[in-house]
Structure 1
Amino acid sequence: MIWLGIETANAPLSIAVIKDGKVVAEIVQNIKLTHSAGAMPAIEEVLANAGVKPSELDAIAVSEGPGSYTGVRIGVTLAKTLAWTLQKPLVGISSLKSLAANAALYDGFICPIFDARRGNVYTAVYKGRELETIIEDYHDHIDGLLERLQALEAPILFVGVDVDVFWHKIVEVLGDYAGRVPFSHDLPRASETVRLATKVELPSVDAVHHFVPQYKRIAEAEANWLKEQKEKAHE
Protein backbone atom coordinates (compact mmCIF):
# COMPACT_ATOMS: atom_id res chain seq x y z
CA MET A 1 0.00 0.00 0.00
CA ILE A 2 1.32 3.45 -0.94
CA TRP A 3 0.58 6.49 1.23
CA LEU A 4 1.22 10.19 0.75
CA GLY A 5 1.68 12.12 4.01
CA ILE A 6 1.21 15.89 4.24
CA GLU A 7 2.25 17.97 7.28
CA THR A 8 1.86 21.76 7.07
CA ALA A 9 0.10 22.60 10.34
CA ASN A 10 2.83 25.01 11.45
CA ALA A 11 5.99 26.61 10.06
CA PRO A 12 7.82 23.29 9.45
CA LEU A 13 6.91 21.38 6.31
CA SER A 14 7.06 17.62 5.82
CA ILE A 15 5.92 15.46 2.93
CA ALA A 16 6.45 11.70 2.74
CA VAL A 17 5.74 8.69 0.57
CA ILE A 18 5.38 5.42 2.47
CA LYS A 19 5.17 2.09 0.64
CA ASP A 20 4.30 -1.13 2.44
CA GLY A 21 5.33 0.24 5.81
CA LYS A 22 8.65 1.72 4.68
CA VAL A 23 9.68 5.33 4.12
CA VAL A 24 10.54 5.70 0.43
CA ALA A 25 11.07 9.46 0.35
CA GLU A 26 10.52 12.30 2.81
CA ILE A 27 11.10 16.04 3.04
CA VAL A 28 11.41 17.64 6.47
CA GLN A 29 12.29 21.32 6.56
CA ASN A 30 11.92 24.42 8.71
CA ILE A 31 12.79 27.32 6.43
CA LYS A 32 11.14 30.66 5.70
CA LEU A 33 9.04 29.51 2.77
CA THR A 34 5.26 29.83 2.91
CA HIS A 35 3.35 26.60 2.48
CA SER A 36 1.27 28.21 -0.29
CA ALA A 37 4.49 28.41 -2.31
CA GLY A 38 6.33 25.35 -1.05
CA ALA A 39 3.88 22.56 -0.27
CA MET A 40 2.76 21.52 -3.77
CA PRO A 41 6.30 21.59 -5.24
CA ALA A 42 7.44 19.48 -2.27
CA ILE A 43 4.67 16.94 -2.95
CA GLU A 44 5.71 16.77 -6.62
CA GLU A 45 9.38 16.38 -5.64
CA VAL A 46 8.77 13.59 -3.14
CA LEU A 47 6.54 11.66 -5.55
CA ALA A 48 9.16 12.04 -8.30
CA ASN A 49 11.99 10.95 -6.00
CA ALA A 50 9.96 7.94 -4.91
CA GLY A 51 9.13 7.03 -8.51
CA VAL A 52 5.43 7.07 -7.66
CA LYS A 53 2.72 8.50 -9.91
CA PRO A 54 -0.19 10.23 -8.15
CA SER A 55 -2.56 7.62 -9.59
CA GLU A 56 -0.54 4.88 -7.83
CA LEU A 57 -1.31 6.27 -4.37
CA ASP A 58 -3.69 4.19 -2.28
CA ALA A 59 -4.44 6.74 0.45
CA ILE A 60 -3.50 10.18 1.77
CA ALA A 61 -2.83 11.23 5.36
CA VAL A 62 -2.79 14.85 6.49
CA SER A 63 -2.23 16.65 9.78
CA GLU A 64 -5.67 18.13 10.42
CA GLY A 65 -4.68 20.66 13.11
CA PRO A 66 -4.52 22.35 15.48
CA GLY A 67 -1.81 24.82 14.55
CA SER A 68 -1.40 27.81 12.28
CA TYR A 69 -4.78 28.64 10.76
CA THR A 70 -3.20 29.22 7.34
CA GLY A 71 -0.90 26.22 7.56
CA VAL A 72 -3.68 23.83 8.53
CA ARG A 73 -5.99 25.20 5.84
CA ILE A 74 -3.37 24.83 3.09
CA GLY A 75 -2.51 21.26 4.03
CA VAL A 76 -6.12 20.15 4.32
CA THR A 77 -7.10 21.88 1.07
CA LEU A 78 -4.25 20.20 -0.81
CA ALA A 79 -5.04 16.82 0.72
CA LYS A 80 -8.78 17.07 -0.04
CA THR A 81 -8.16 18.22 -3.61
CA LEU A 82 -5.74 15.38 -4.29
CA ALA A 83 -7.91 12.78 -2.56
CA TRP A 84 -11.05 13.73 -4.45
CA THR A 85 -9.30 14.14 -7.80
CA LEU A 86 -7.55 10.77 -7.46
CA GLN A 87 -10.56 9.15 -5.75
CA LYS A 88 -8.46 8.00 -2.78
CA PRO A 89 -9.41 7.84 0.93
CA LEU A 90 -8.21 10.66 3.17
CA VAL A 91 -7.25 10.21 6.84
CA GLY A 92 -6.77 13.16 9.19
CA ILE A 93 -4.40 12.92 12.14
CA SER A 94 -3.99 15.38 15.00
CA SER A 95 -0.94 17.52 14.30
CA LEU A 96 -0.11 17.38 18.02
CA LYS A 97 -0.30 13.60 18.11
CA SER A 98 1.81 13.37 14.97
CA LEU A 99 4.49 15.50 16.63
CA ALA A 100 4.26 13.52 19.87
CA ALA A 101 4.90 10.37 17.85
CA ASN A 102 8.53 11.51 17.53
CA ALA A 103 8.88 10.61 21.21
CA ALA A 104 6.75 7.46 21.17
CA LEU A 105 9.61 5.29 22.47
CA TYR A 106 9.32 7.18 25.77
CA ASP A 107 7.12 5.39 28.29
CA GLY A 108 6.07 8.46 30.27
CA PHE A 109 4.04 11.61 29.62
CA ILE A 110 4.68 13.41 26.31
CA CYS A 111 3.62 17.02 25.79
CA PRO A 112 3.80 18.54 22.27
CA ILE A 113 3.54 22.32 22.08
CA PHE A 114 2.68 24.77 19.31
CA ASP A 115 2.96 28.50 19.96
CA ALA A 116 -0.49 30.12 19.61
CA ARG A 117 0.87 33.63 20.36
CA ARG A 118 0.25 35.99 23.29
CA GLY A 119 1.40 33.35 25.78
CA ASN A 120 -1.05 30.75 24.48
CA VAL A 121 -0.36 27.26 23.20
CA TYR A 122 -1.98 24.40 21.33
CA THR A 123 -1.12 21.32 23.30
CA ALA A 124 -2.08 17.88 24.57
CA VAL A 125 -0.59 15.15 26.73
CA TYR A 126 -0.04 11.58 25.59
CA LYS A 127 1.54 8.63 27.34
CA GLY A 128 3.74 5.78 26.27
CA ARG A 129 4.40 3.98 23.03
CA GLU A 130 0.72 3.73 22.13
CA LEU A 131 0.27 7.49 22.68
CA GLU A 132 -2.63 7.09 25.06
CA THR A 133 -4.47 10.41 25.28
CA ILE A 134 -4.19 11.87 28.80
CA ILE A 135 -5.21 15.45 27.92
CA GLU A 136 -7.11 16.01 24.66
CA ASP A 137 -5.87 18.53 22.09
CA TYR A 138 -6.83 22.01 23.23
CA HIS A 139 -5.91 25.70 23.34
CA ASP A 140 -4.78 27.26 26.62
CA HIS A 141 -2.52 29.88 28.16
CA ILE A 142 0.85 28.39 29.10
CA ASP A 143 0.07 29.05 32.77
CA GLY A 144 -3.09 26.96 32.56
CA LEU A 145 -1.22 24.11 30.89
CA LEU A 146 1.55 24.13 33.49
CA GLU A 147 -1.00 24.04 36.29
CA ARG A 148 -2.49 20.88 34.79
CA LEU A 149 0.94 19.33 34.28
CA GLN A 150 1.94 20.06 37.88
CA ALA A 151 -1.03 17.99 39.00
CA LEU A 152 0.40 14.94 37.22
CA GLU A 153 3.38 14.96 39.60
CA ALA A 154 5.51 13.04 37.12
CA PRO A 155 8.24 13.70 34.53
CA ILE A 156 6.99 15.34 31.31
CA LEU A 157 8.86 15.10 28.00
CA PHE A 158 8.27 18.17 25.81
CA VAL A 159 8.53 18.08 22.03
CA GLY A 160 8.39 20.76 19.33
CA VAL A 161 10.44 23.71 18.09
CA ASP A 162 8.04 26.09 19.88
CA VAL A 163 9.02 24.66 23.27
CA ASP A 164 11.92 27.15 23.09
CA VAL A 165 9.44 30.01 23.51
CA PHE A 166 8.20 28.69 26.85
CA TRP A 167 11.11 26.64 28.17
CA HIS A 168 12.22 29.10 30.84
CA LYS A 169 8.72 29.20 32.36
CA ILE A 170 8.29 25.43 32.01
CA VAL A 171 11.46 24.78 34.01
CA GLU A 172 10.54 27.47 36.51
CA VAL A 173 7.23 25.70 37.27
CA LEU A 174 8.05 22.01 36.77
CA GLY A 175 11.72 21.95 37.74
CA ASP A 176 13.30 18.52 37.34
CA TYR A 177 10.02 17.07 36.04
CA ALA A 178 10.60 18.92 32.74
CA GLY A 179 12.55 17.21 29.96
CA ARG A 180 13.05 17.76 26.25
CA VAL A 181 13.56 15.52 23.24
CA PRO A 182 16.79 15.98 21.25
CA PHE A 183 16.50 18.88 18.78
CA SER A 184 16.48 16.37 15.92
CA HIS A 185 13.06 15.16 17.13
CA ASP A 186 11.42 18.59 17.35
CA LEU A 187 10.20 18.78 13.74
CA PRO A 188 6.98 16.99 12.77
CA ARG A 189 7.39 14.21 10.22
CA ALA A 190 4.82 13.28 7.59
CA SER A 191 6.00 9.68 7.90
CA GLU A 192 4.70 9.66 11.49
CA THR A 193 1.40 11.14 10.29
CA VAL A 194 1.11 8.20 7.90
CA ARG A 195 2.14 5.68 10.55
CA LEU A 196 -0.68 6.85 12.80
CA ALA A 197 -3.10 6.89 9.86
CA THR A 198 -2.40 3.21 9.15
CA LYS A 199 -3.79 2.36 12.59
CA VAL A 200 -7.30 3.61 11.80
CA GLU A 201 -9.96 2.23 9.48
CA LEU A 202 -9.87 3.80 6.04
CA PRO A 203 -12.90 6.02 5.40
CA SER A 204 -14.83 5.96 2.13
CA VAL A 205 -13.80 8.28 -0.68
CA ASP A 206 -17.15 10.07 -0.28
CA ALA A 207 -16.08 11.08 3.23
CA VAL A 208 -13.54 13.47 1.65
CA HIS A 209 -16.41 15.93 1.09
CA HIS A 210 -17.09 16.15 4.83
CA PHE A 211 -13.48 16.35 5.98
CA VAL A 212 -12.80 19.54 7.97
CA PRO A 213 -9.75 20.95 9.79
CA GLN A 214 -9.57 20.79 13.58
CA TYR A 215 -8.51 24.31 14.53
CA LYS A 216 -9.46 24.04 18.23
CA ARG A 217 -9.87 27.81 18.18
CA ILE A 218 -11.68 30.15 15.84
CA ALA A 219 -9.58 32.35 13.57
CA GLU A 220 -8.55 35.76 14.93
CA ALA A 221 -10.59 37.61 12.31
CA GLU A 222 -13.71 35.67 13.28
CA ALA A 223 -13.03 36.26 16.98
CA ASN A 224 -12.72 40.01 16.38
CA TRP A 225 -15.95 40.00 14.37
CA LEU A 226 -17.82 38.20 17.16
CA LYS A 227 -16.42 40.66 19.70
CA GLU A 228 -17.64 43.58 17.59
CA GLN A 229 -21.12 42.05 17.31
CA LYS A 230 -21.36 41.63 21.09
CA GLU A 231 -20.27 45.22 21.66
CA LYS A 232 -22.87 46.49 19.17
CA ALA A 233 -25.57 44.41 20.86
CA HIS A 234 -24.87 46.16 24.18
CA GLU A 235 -24.86 49.70 22.76
Structure 2
Amino acid sequence: MLVLAIDTSTKIGSVSLYDDKIGVIGELNLYIKVNHSAVIMNMIDNLFKMTKLSIKDVDRVAVSVGPGSFTGIRIGVAVAKGLCYGTKKSIVGINELDLLVQNIEAGEGIVIPLLDARKERVYYSIYEKKEGFKRVTEYKDGELKTLLEEVKDKKVIFCGDGATVYEKVIKDSMGENAIIISKGNSIPRSVLAAQLAVEMEEENLYTLEPFYVNKSQAEREKEEREAKEKNSK
Protein backbone atom coordinates (compact mmCIF):
# COMPACT_ATOMS: atom_id res chain seq x y z
CA MET A 1 0.00 0.00 0.00
CA LEU A 2 1.34 3.43 -0.99
CA VAL A 3 0.26 6.22 1.37
CA LEU A 4 0.48 9.97 0.86
CA ALA A 5 0.52 11.65 4.28
CA ILE A 6 -0.09 15.32 5.06
CA ASP A 7 0.45 17.15 8.35
CA THR A 8 -0.23 20.88 8.74
CA SER A 9 -1.29 20.91 12.39
CA THR A 10 1.78 22.84 13.58
CA LYS A 11 4.26 25.34 12.10
CA ILE A 12 6.08 22.39 10.55
CA GLY A 13 4.42 21.41 7.29
CA SER A 14 5.13 17.78 6.43
CA VAL A 15 4.27 15.58 3.45
CA SER A 16 5.51 12.08 2.71
CA LEU A 17 5.08 8.97 0.62
CA TYR A 18 5.32 5.63 2.40
CA ASP A 19 5.08 2.10 1.04
CA ASP A 20 4.21 -0.60 3.56
CA LYS A 21 6.58 -3.05 1.84
CA ILE A 22 9.49 -0.75 0.98
CA GLY A 23 9.33 1.91 3.68
CA VAL A 24 9.80 5.67 3.27
CA ILE A 25 9.77 6.71 -0.40
CA GLY A 26 10.13 10.43 0.25
CA GLU A 27 9.47 13.04 2.91
CA LEU A 28 9.51 16.86 3.02
CA ASN A 29 9.40 18.88 6.23
CA LEU A 30 9.32 22.67 6.15
CA TYR A 31 8.98 25.38 8.78
CA ILE A 32 6.06 27.46 7.52
CA LYS A 33 6.51 31.21 8.09
CA VAL A 34 3.31 32.03 6.23
CA ASN A 35 -0.03 30.28 5.87
CA HIS A 36 0.15 26.56 5.04
CA SER A 37 -2.17 27.19 2.09
CA ALA A 38 0.62 29.06 0.31
CA VAL A 39 3.01 26.11 0.25
CA ILE A 40 1.40 22.75 1.00
CA MET A 41 0.30 21.93 -2.58
CA ASN A 42 3.75 22.93 -3.87
CA MET A 43 5.30 20.57 -1.33
CA ILE A 44 3.07 17.72 -2.51
CA ASP A 45 3.81 18.49 -6.17
CA ASN A 46 7.56 18.58 -5.49
CA LEU A 47 7.39 15.32 -3.56
CA PHE A 48 5.72 13.62 -6.52
CA LYS A 49 8.27 15.10 -8.95
CA MET A 50 11.25 13.98 -6.88
CA THR A 51 9.91 10.45 -6.46
CA LYS A 52 8.64 10.24 -10.05
CA LEU A 53 5.20 9.24 -8.75
CA SER A 54 1.75 10.82 -8.93
CA ILE A 55 -1.53 10.79 -7.07
CA LYS A 56 -2.60 7.98 -9.41
CA ASP A 57 -0.01 5.71 -7.78
CA VAL A 58 -1.30 6.40 -4.27
CA ASP A 59 -3.67 3.95 -2.57
CA ARG A 60 -4.52 6.00 0.50
CA VAL A 61 -4.24 9.56 1.82
CA ALA A 62 -3.53 10.11 5.52
CA VAL A 63 -3.99 13.51 7.13
CA SER A 64 -3.50 14.89 10.62
CA VAL A 65 -6.89 16.12 11.83
CA GLY A 66 -5.55 17.92 14.92
CA PRO A 67 -5.44 19.15 17.53
CA GLY A 68 -3.10 22.04 16.77
CA SER A 69 -3.32 25.18 14.67
CA PHE A 70 -6.98 25.68 13.77
CA THR A 71 -6.12 27.23 10.41
CA GLY A 72 -3.44 24.67 9.62
CA ILE A 73 -5.73 21.75 10.44
CA ARG A 74 -8.49 23.09 8.19
CA ILE A 75 -6.05 23.53 5.31
CA GLY A 76 -4.57 20.05 5.62
CA VAL A 77 -7.94 18.32 5.85
CA ALA A 78 -9.31 20.34 2.92
CA VAL A 79 -6.31 19.48 0.74
CA ALA A 80 -6.48 15.78 1.61
CA LYS A 81 -10.21 15.59 0.94
CA GLY A 82 -9.80 17.52 -2.31
CA LEU A 83 -7.21 15.02 -3.54
CA CYS A 84 -9.50 12.12 -2.67
CA TYR A 85 -12.67 13.60 -4.17
CA GLY A 86 -11.35 13.54 -7.71
CA THR A 87 -9.32 10.34 -7.53
CA LYS A 88 -11.51 8.16 -5.31
CA LYS A 89 -8.58 7.32 -3.03
CA SER A 90 -9.32 6.14 0.51
CA ILE A 91 -8.69 8.57 3.37
CA VAL A 92 -7.68 8.21 7.02
CA GLY A 93 -7.57 10.92 9.70
CA ILE A 94 -4.76 10.70 12.29
CA ASN A 95 -4.84 12.47 15.64
CA GLU A 96 -1.77 14.67 16.03
CA LEU A 97 -1.13 13.47 19.58
CA ASP A 98 -1.21 9.83 18.48
CA LEU A 99 1.29 10.78 15.80
CA LEU A 100 3.68 12.63 18.12
CA VAL A 101 4.17 9.72 20.53
CA GLN A 102 5.47 7.61 17.64
CA ASN A 103 8.68 9.67 17.83
CA ILE A 104 9.51 7.87 21.10
CA GLU A 105 11.28 4.62 20.26
CA ALA A 106 13.31 3.69 23.34
CA GLY A 107 12.19 3.11 26.91
CA GLU A 108 8.93 2.35 28.65
CA GLY A 109 6.59 4.24 30.94
CA ILE A 110 4.38 7.30 30.72
CA VAL A 111 4.59 9.49 27.62
CA ILE A 112 2.75 12.80 27.28
CA PRO A 113 2.83 14.68 23.96
CA LEU A 114 2.20 18.40 24.40
CA LEU A 115 1.05 20.84 21.73
CA ASP A 116 1.33 24.51 22.62
CA ALA A 117 -2.13 26.14 22.82
CA ARG A 118 -0.54 29.40 24.14
CA LYS A 119 -0.61 31.11 27.51
CA GLU A 120 0.64 27.92 29.21
CA ARG A 121 -2.27 25.89 27.90
CA VAL A 122 -1.58 22.67 26.03
CA TYR A 123 -3.32 20.00 24.01
CA TYR A 124 -2.34 16.64 25.44
CA SER A 125 -3.19 13.05 26.19
CA ILE A 126 -1.46 10.52 28.44
CA TYR A 127 -0.03 7.28 27.03
CA GLU A 128 1.56 4.19 28.54
CA LYS A 129 4.43 2.75 26.51
CA LYS A 130 5.39 -0.90 26.73
CA GLU A 131 5.59 -2.85 23.50
CA GLY A 132 3.41 -0.19 21.92
CA PHE A 133 1.43 2.85 22.99
CA LYS A 134 -1.82 2.73 24.91
CA ARG A 135 -3.73 5.98 25.37
CA VAL A 136 -5.15 6.10 28.90
CA THR A 137 -6.93 9.48 28.88
CA GLU A 138 -9.08 11.49 26.55
CA TYR A 139 -7.57 14.10 24.25
CA LYS A 140 -7.58 17.28 26.32
CA ASP A 141 -7.03 21.03 26.23
CA GLY A 142 -5.95 22.29 29.65
CA GLU A 143 -3.59 24.34 31.77
CA LEU A 144 -0.08 22.91 31.85
CA LYS A 145 0.30 23.52 35.59
CA THR A 146 -2.81 21.45 36.30
CA LEU A 147 -1.42 18.55 34.28
CA LEU A 148 1.98 18.79 35.97
CA GLU A 149 0.37 18.71 39.39
CA GLU A 150 -1.38 15.49 38.37
CA VAL A 151 1.79 13.67 37.26
CA LYS A 152 4.57 15.37 39.26
CA ASP A 153 5.38 12.24 41.31
CA LYS A 154 5.79 10.02 38.23
CA LYS A 155 8.55 9.56 35.68
CA VAL A 156 7.24 11.11 32.47
CA ILE A 157 8.59 11.53 28.94
CA PHE A 158 7.33 14.76 27.34
CA CYS A 159 7.48 15.45 23.60
CA GLY A 160 6.06 17.98 21.15
CA ASP A 161 6.43 21.74 20.78
CA GLY A 162 4.61 22.31 24.07
CA ALA A 163 7.33 20.34 25.85
CA THR A 164 10.16 22.46 24.43
CA VAL A 165 8.34 25.81 24.70
CA TYR A 166 7.50 25.18 28.36
CA GLU A 167 10.60 23.16 29.27
CA LYS A 168 11.51 25.44 32.20
CA VAL A 169 7.98 25.29 33.64
CA ILE A 170 8.02 21.49 33.41
CA LYS A 171 11.50 21.13 34.92
CA ASP A 172 10.72 23.58 37.73
CA SER A 173 7.66 21.52 38.63
CA MET A 174 8.94 17.97 38.12
CA GLY A 175 12.72 18.11 38.26
CA GLU A 176 14.42 14.83 37.36
CA ASN A 177 11.05 13.09 36.94
CA ALA A 178 10.61 14.86 33.61
CA ILE A 179 12.42 13.83 30.44
CA ILE A 180 12.05 16.41 27.66
CA ILE A 181 12.55 15.16 24.12
CA SER A 182 14.58 17.64 22.05
CA LYS A 183 13.04 19.82 19.33
CA GLY A 184 14.69 17.83 16.57
CA ASN A 185 13.11 14.61 17.81
CA SER A 186 9.74 16.15 18.66
CA ILE A 187 8.59 17.43 15.30
CA PRO A 188 5.47 15.85 13.84
CA ARG A 189 6.58 13.79 10.85
CA SER A 190 3.90 12.88 8.36
CA VAL A 191 5.61 9.57 7.60
CA LEU A 192 4.61 8.43 11.09
CA ALA A 193 1.01 9.21 10.17
CA ALA A 194 1.44 7.15 7.01
CA GLN A 195 2.70 4.17 9.02
CA LEU A 196 -0.31 4.38 11.33
CA ALA A 197 -2.68 4.75 8.39
CA VAL A 198 -1.65 1.42 6.88
CA GLU A 199 -3.20 -0.42 9.82
CA MET A 200 -6.32 1.74 10.15
CA GLU A 201 -9.82 1.46 8.72
CA GLU A 202 -10.76 3.70 5.83
CA GLU A 203 -12.89 6.68 6.88
CA ASN A 204 -15.86 8.33 5.22
CA LEU A 205 -14.56 11.09 2.97
CA TYR A 206 -17.71 13.15 3.42
CA THR A 207 -17.83 13.05 7.22
CA LEU A 208 -14.12 13.36 8.05
CA GLU A 209 -13.66 16.62 9.95
CA PRO A 210 -10.91 18.48 11.83
CA PHE A 211 -10.52 17.59 15.50
CA TYR A 212 -10.07 20.76 17.52
CA VAL A 213 -10.51 19.51 21.14
CA ASN A 214 -11.55 22.97 22.26
CA LYS A 215 -11.98 26.57 21.23
CA SER A 216 -9.10 28.51 19.71
CA GLN A 217 -7.23 31.15 21.66
CA ALA A 218 -8.92 33.86 19.59
CA GLU A 219 -12.34 32.47 20.47
CA ARG A 220 -11.43 32.21 24.16
CA GLU A 221 -10.11 35.79 24.22
CA LYS A 222 -13.24 37.06 22.50
CA GLU A 223 -15.43 35.34 25.08
CA GLU A 224 -13.30 36.78 27.90
CA ARG A 225 -13.64 40.30 26.47
CA GLU A 226 -17.39 39.91 26.05
CA ALA A 227 -17.72 38.62 29.61
CA LYS A 228 -15.74 41.58 30.97
CA GLU A 229 -17.84 44.03 28.96
CA LYS A 230 -21.02 42.40 30.21
CA ASN A 231 -19.86 42.50 33.84
CA SER A 232 -18.83 46.15 33.57
CA LYS A 233 -22.33 47.24 32.56
**Same-fold call, TM cutoff 0.5:** yes
Aligned counterpart in structure 1 of residue 213 of structure 2, from 211, 216, 223: 216
Residue identity matched to 2:63: V
Cα offset for 1:231?
Answer: 7.2
Matched, 1:136 2:138: yes
Secondary structure in 1 matching 2:126: strand
Superposed CA offset, 1:138-189 (max 9, x none): 1001111112222xx3311111233222111111111111002244311110
CA distance, structure 2, for counterparts of residue 220 and residue 114 of structure 1:
13
Report the counterpart of residue 108 of structure 1 in structure 2.
109
Cα offset for 1:31?
Answer: 4.6
Residue identity matched to 1:139: D
Matched, 1:88 2:86: no
Matched, 1:3 2:3: yes
Query: 1:40-51 to 2 correspondence within 5 Å?
Result: 40-51=41-52
Q: Is the Cα–Cα contact under 8 Å of residues 104 and 130 in structure 1 kept in the other structure?
A: no
Report the counterpart of residue 78 of structure 2 in structure 1.
77
Report the counterpart of residue 67 of structure 2 in structure 1.
66
Query: 1:14-33 to 2 correspondence within 5 Å?
Result: 14-21=14-21, 22-33=23-34
Q: Is the Cα–Cα contact under 8 Å of residues 118 and 217 in structure 2 kept in the other structure?
A: no
TM-score if structure 2 supplies the norm length?
Answer: 0.90
Superposition CA RMSD, Å = 2.3
Q: Is the Cα–Cα contact under 8 Å of residues 158 and 179 in structure 1 kept in the other structure?
A: yes
Report the counterpart of residue 164 of structure 1 in structure 2.
164
Secondary structure in 2 matching 1:208: coil
Cα offset for 1:105?
Answer: 3.5
CA distance, structure 2, for counterparts of residue 73 and residue 116 of structure 1:
16
CA distance, structure 2, for counterparts of residue 184 and residue 221 of structure 1:
29
In percent, how many aligned pairs have the same letter?
A: 31
Query: Structure 2: which 5+ residue stretches go unaligned?
Result: none
Q: Is the Cα–Cα contact under 8 Å of residues 81 and 91 in structure 2 kept in the other structure?
A: yes
TM-score if structure 1 supplies the norm length?
Answer: 0.89
Residue identity matched to 1:171: K
Residue identity matched to 2:149: E
The count of residues paired between Structure 1 and Structure 2 equals 230
